[in-house]
Amino acid sequence: MSEHDPTALHRMLTEHGHALIRVPGLREQAQSDPWGAARRLWGEDVALVEAHPIHPVPHGRSYASNQGYTPLHSDSQMACGVPPRVQVMLCVRPAAEGGETLLLDTWALLERIAAEEPELFHALLTWPRRIPFVFGDVFDPTVSLRGGNVVFTHSPMPANDELGGRLAPWIERAPLVELRVEADEVLVVDNHRMLHGRRGFVDPERRFLRLLLWTRTPGQAPEWLRNAVTAVQSAFASAVSPPSEAQRRLAIVLEHLRGVSPGILARRHGVPEPELYRWRDVALRAAQSALEELPSAVDYHEAAEQLRRALDRKLC
Ligand SMILES: [Fe+2]
């Protein structure tokens, strides 16, 4: 049984934006202990994990539950304003035919756009857009800085705005990586950098388990791109805040909530158990209070206009 090497995985992600690997037993572990599987794969604790079965069901409407072609997109459901940094596709059983994964490297794409159509590149970094997803709209420039990460946001739905329409032909003619993931293989994708899609298939037995990982440290990006995005973001009032003591405490509360023994947490983090229980109560009460006060709906059109006006004032 070969040992998994997280350092080699990180190197592959930096070089290619994705890695197709085998990690013995990881799929079985992910089904019963996704947090433990994430830690083993990544080589350190992560901030948050989501687990999703990817399996066609009769009349399934989401891409995760049907057999249709899935257009290129980013997984952009947010946790504290940041989309998952890593998508992990653990193959239980591939489709007999079809279902190949498609990947597009947005770093290379942005480099070409910057060279050949600099005005579009500037717009991708500066124009706030309403980008629609099934789980809710994302409201941001196409390329933005979120939690210290350079993030490319792209919906699988057809573009519904001018900038999306200008970007679409670039994406259509960009070179793709096409991969067939076999049983017990693990496809790891940098979700801030790579767009992913899937060819259609006809096989009701195709099964994957998908993990989405939010890491504790931001991802890397080419210096020219990070500098360009940072220059724009510094014009926003909502600069990225550095990690705080509150974030460290919340990470410990999350461990407590997902079943890690308080005795282990007390030793690992040097925090007395009574204090751990106090933090958990404070966090749960704060969450309950915030949920009670949550507005019933967000007016995204008005929010878009407000941000566009603020941006115009800052950049002019
Ligand atoms: Fe996806």
pLDDT, residue 1, reads 47
Is the confidence at residue 245, as pLDDT, over 50?
yes
List, in sequence order, every residue forming a beta bridge with 51; answer none if it has no partner.
211
pLDDT, residue 2, reads 59
Between the CA of 75 and the centroid of ligand 1 the distance, in Å, is 5
Q: In this structure, how many other beta carbons lie within 10 angstroms of the beta carbon of residue 104?
A: 21
pLDDT, residue 189, reads 98
Between the CA of 165 and the centroid of ligand 1 the distance, in Å, is 21
Between the CA of 298 and the centroid of ligand 1 the distance, in Å, is 24
Tokens coding 182:
């076999």
Name the residue with higher pLDDT: 223 or 306. 223
Between the CA of 48 and the centroid of ligand 1 the distance, in Å, is 17
List, in sequence order, every residue forming a beta bridge with 70; answer none if it has no partner.
198
N residues, the chain = 316
pLDDT digits (tens, 9 = 90+) for 195-215: 999 999 988 999 999 999 999
Q: What is the mean pLDDT of residues 256-277?
A: 90
Between the CA of 74 and the centroid of ligand 1 the distance, in Å, is 6
pLDDT digits (tens, 9 = 90+) for 69-91: 999 999 999 998 899 999 999 99
pLDDT digits (tens, 9 = 90+) for 95-107: 999 999 999 999 9
Among residues of the chain, what percentage have pLDDT more than 70? 92
pLDDT class of 309 with cuts at 50, 70, 90? confident
Is the confidence at residue 37, as pLDDT, over 80?
yes
Name the residue with higher pLDDT: 2 or 175. 175
pLDDT digits (tens, 9 = 90+) for 101-142: 999 999 999 999 999 999 999 999 999 999 999 888 899 999
pLDDT, residue 65, reads 81
Between the CA of 197 and the centroid of ligand 1 the distance, in Å, is 7
Between the CA of 163 and the centroid of ligand 1 the distance, in Å, is 22
pLDDT, residue 237, reads 47
Between the CA of 235 and the centroid of ligand 1 the distance, in Å, is 31
Between the CA of 192 and the centroid of ligand 1 the distance, in Å, is 12
Between the CA of 58 and the centroid of ligand 1 the distance, in Å, is 20
Beta carbons of 194 and 30 less than 8 angstroms apart: no
Between the CA of 149 and the centroid of ligand 1 the distance, in Å, is 19
Between the CA of 50 and the centroid of ligand 1 the distance, in Å, is 13
Between the CA of 71 and the centroid of ligand 1 the distance, in Å, is 9
Between the CA of 171 and the centroid of ligand 1 the distance, in Å, is 16
Alpha carbon separation from 190 to 40, 183, 226, 263 (Å, rounded):
17, 21, 16, 35
> Which run of H or of E encompasses 61?
none
Between the CA of 73 and the centroid of ligand 1 the distance, in Å, is 6
- Which stretches of the chain are DSSP H helices? 6-16, 26-32, 34-42, 106-116, 118-126, 162-172, 223-233, 245-257, 262-269, 273-292, 300-315
Alpha carbon 219 to chain centroid distance? 11
Ligand 1 (ion): which residues have CB within 5 A?
A: 75
Is the confidence at residue 40, as pLDDT, over 70?
yes
Which amino acid belongs to residue 151?
V
Between the CA of 229 and the centroid of ligand 1 the distance, in Å, is 24
pLDDT digits (tens, 9 = 90+) for 53-66: 998 887 777 777 88
pLDDT, residue 125, reads 96
Q: Which residues contact 251 (CB under 8 A, 6 or more apart)?
A: 45, 47, 216
Q: What is the mean pLDDT of the chain?
A: 90
Rounded distance, CA 19 to CA 9, Å?
7
pLDDT digits (tens, 9 = 90+) for 23-34: 999 999 999 999
Rounded distance, CA 208 to CA 216, Å?
25
Best CA proximity match to 99, nearest among 61, 158, 55, 135: 55
Between the CA of 310 and the centroid of ligand 1 the distance, in Å, is 32
Beta carbons of 175 and 45 less than 8 angstroms apart: no
Token match 């942005």: residue? 110
Is the confidence at residue 164, as pLDDT, over 60?
yes
Among residues of the chain, what percentage have pLDDT more than 90? 68
Is the confidence at residue 179, as pLDDT, over 80?
yes
Between the CA of 156 and the centroid of ligand 1 the distance, in Å, is 8
Between the CA of 60 and the centroid of ligand 1 the distance, in Å, is 15
Between the CA of 292 and the centroid of ligand 1 the distance, in Å, is 31
pLDDT class of 302 with cuts at 50, 70, 90? confident
